[in-house]
Amino acid sequence: MREEQKAKIVEDLVKGKNILITGSYGLGKSTLAQELMHELACQEKFVVFYFPFPKPPKLILIKAIEKLCLRGLNPPSGWKFSSLYQLCEIIIKYINGSPFNLVLFLDEAQIITENAIQVYSELLNSGKVQFVLCGHSPAFDEKFSSLKFKYFFNAFTVYKIEPLSYSEAKTFLDSCLKERKLNLDENTKTKLLLQAGGNLANIIRGLDQISQGEEPNVYTSQNSTNLFPLFIFLIFVIIGLKYLYRGVGDYALANFSGFLGLVLFFIIRYFYFWRK
């Protein structure tokens, strides 16, 4: 799955580049990152480390040093109480004298902070520490409004993950069915794949629903309709009519408009709160 894209990313990492993997929720960014990590771990040139979040930076640095200790790093006593930049110095000093690079895989990169950026920039400037960051692409727009974020991410090669093709999604579904020891008829498979829209998380959620004896219902946001703006528009129309009828002296219609507003309010409450 995504073999061509994965091969290009590995090639870039071998060249010493930093990678930013973006895409909508559920498309398999984390899965791709973990596959890359396992592939790099087989190469002597790399020491790889995965953390599910890009913060807190101190914990990540400590875990990275512990990983390097398995490759011969002997940090000074009391090193865990060092400052962030002292921890960076420990990593950089060891890595610069080693034949391998340290590759940090950090997930959920859209929540990265400026403080973390400053720390990671120290590692980035060493040339021997590489990053593979994964995050939701819409959320990165806000990050790029800051010059500090722009400067940091300019050092990254961006790979945008697209939804799986139908055949790729079918292959993924078949592997999940084999792993879960489930059997589905072709109609149910087709229904689930069409609803999922190439989204791995939706396929998994659909299988969870089927396992619980439910019908799969995992339409992607592209296939669903957001009725909330329509509800808001109707409320304003009803309020406008209420005051219009009151202004012309038709109090019966004004009261009826108010009644419709209350009904619509409770409908919204039902769909957006109680049904959850």
pLDDT in tens, 208-239: 888 888 887 776 544 444 556 766 777 777 77
Residue 259 domain flag: yes
Residue 98 clears pLDDT 50, i.e. is over it: yes
Summarize the confidence of residues 3-22 as an average pLDDT: 92
Residue 241 domain flag: yes
Query: How many Å apart are CA 31 and CA 116, to the nearest integer?
Result: 24
| From 28-42, 79-93, 233-247, 260-274, the region with the lowest mean pLDDT | 260-274
> Are residues 31 and 81 located together in one domain of the fold?
yes
Report pLDDT for 63. 94
Higher pLDDT among residues 249 and 113, named by residue: 113
Summarize the confidence of residues 79-89 as an average pLDDT: 94
> Are residues 39 and 96 located together in one domain of the fold?
yes
Residue 222 domain flag: no
pTM of the model: 0.72
| Structural domain boundaries enclosing 61 | 3-160
> Are residues 14 and 29 located together in one domain of the fold?
yes
Residue 41 domain flag: yes
Domains: count for the chain: 3
> Are residues 95 and 79 located together in one domain of the fold?
yes
Query: How many Å apart are CA 252 and CA 254, to the nearest integer?
Result: 5
| Boundary-marking domain end, from 125, 145, 160 | 160
> Are residues 156 and 263 located together in one domain of the fold?
no
- State the chain's mean pLDDT as an integer: 84
> Are residues 101 and 153 located together in one domain of the fold?
yes
Sequence length of the chain is 276
